[in-house]
Structure formats: C-alpha cells, structure tokens
Amino acid sequence: MSIRHSLLALLHEGPRYGYRLKSEFEDRTGASWPLNIGQVYTTLDRLERDDLVRKEGADGEGHVIYRITAKGQTEVSSWFSSPVSRAAPPRNELAIKLALGLTLPGVDVGAIIQAQRGVSIRALQDYTKARRDTAAQHRPADTARLLVLDSLIFQTEAEVRWLDLCEARLMQLANPPR
C-alpha cells in the first residue's frame, strides 16, 4: 500500500501527470527506492478505479493529468494521521532464514551470518557515503532524503548488531553451559 498512498499524497498537493509523480517521489525519498514508471501508471489506473483520483484530459503541454477526489483527500488524511501498525510487522527474510537454518540439519548458520554481515556493512558504507553527498540545504526535500538515508542507516546498524548477537548465541548453543 506504500506506493498507492505515496502517489495519492503527492496528488494531494495538486494535479500531476504520471511521469512527474515518479520524479517527485524519487526526489523526496532518494534513489534508495526506485519507482518503476510502469508501476505508476498501473497504480493510477487502480486509484481511478477506486474513485480516489480522476483522469483529466490534457494540460497545456499535452500531459495526462490526474486530480485527487474528495474521497482521495479523506484517504490521504487518514493515512497520515494513523500510525503504521506494528501489530503484524513485515516478515524479515533474514530473521526467518537464520531461525530456520538454526533448526535444520546441514545449514552452516555461522557462514550465513558472516556473509550477511559483509553485505550489511558494505550497504552501510554506501548509505553513509550517499548521506555525505546529499546537500545539507534546508529545503524540505533535502531533509526528507536525509531522513530516509538515516532510516536505512539505523536499520542496517541494528541488523549488524543483531548478527553479532546471533553469533554469540550460536556459540552458547554449541557449548551449552551446564
């Protein structure tokens, strides 16, 4: 539901055409989450189907403009005002992999942890570099991109620390304290 709501939120600011929605989304969230342009058009079709936006012919330059409806505005407001539910957190593929690997014979969990730590630390460096390269202006879009990068950095740091903990717990399992 992220893309759906994101496009709707951007349309809340004013009528836009598809390609511009893609640009604006990426401008605000950075290159971390690229948005396939095809996805934009299919999502717009579905938003229109659900009466959240209306397709309007063409503007001066011949662009196909979409305008948010009253129902769409209600939807955006309720999206922004309701917190992201932590009742059913998204499945964490890494955690699942380690948890299952631990209980299955013939899986070298230690090797998985080490390989993953390498990947995560490299990702962390990339994010940190991207963060340095992001203009520290005080334009909202810059701040937005910084926040997204910070979020990825925090998440990845937590992942690395979790991997360390897993490794420690793994040793406990190998040498169980009597």
Partner DNA sequence: ACAGCCATGTAACTTGTTACATGATTTT
Partner DNA sequence: AAAATCATGTAACAAGTTACATGGCTGT
Please choose which of DNA, its own copies, none residue 37 contacts, taking the beta carbon within 5 to 8 angstroms, the exact cut-off set by kind.
DNA
**Span from 42-50, 68-76, 112-120, 139-147 in contact with DNA (CB under 7 A):** 42-50
4 binds DNA (CB under 7 A): yes
Q: Are strands 53-56 and 16-17 parallel, antiparallel or unpaired?
A: unpaired
Distances (CA, A) of 119 to 94, 115, 157: 12, 7, 12
Q: Tell me 115's DSSP state.
A: H
- Is residue 2 a contact point for DNA (CB under 7 A)? yes
CA proximity to 43, closest of 55, 33, 32, 31:
55
Residue 42 as a binder of DNA (CB under 7 A): the answer is yes
Site for DNA in 85-114 (CB under 7 A): 91
Using CA atoms, how far residue 95 sits from 41, 91, 109, 157, 159, in Å, is 34, 8, 11, 15, 10
Structure tokens at 55: 């397709």
Pick what 19 binds: its own copies, DNA, none; C-beta below 5 to 8 Å, kind-dependent.
DNA
Residue from 3, 144, 160, 170 binding DNA (CB under 7 A): 3
Nearer to DNA (CB atom), residue 83 or residue 89: 89
Residue 8 vs 65, nearer CB to its own copies: 8
Note whether 62 binds its own copies by CB under 8 A: no
Cα angle for residues 27, 124, 161 (degrees, 5° grid): 130
Q: With respect to DNA, which residue has the nearer C-beta, 92 or 151? A: 92
17 belongs to the binding site for DNA (CB under 7 A): yes
Pairing of strands 65-68, 16-17: antiparallel
Q: Of residues 20, 54, 63, 97, which one binds its own copies by CB under 8 A?
A: 97
Task: Report CA-CA distances (Å) from 84 to 13, 26, 127.
Answer: 22, 21, 24
Q: Where do contacts with DNA occur on this chain (CB under 7 A)? A: 1-4, 17-20, 23, 36-39, 41-43, 45-46, 61, 63-64, 91
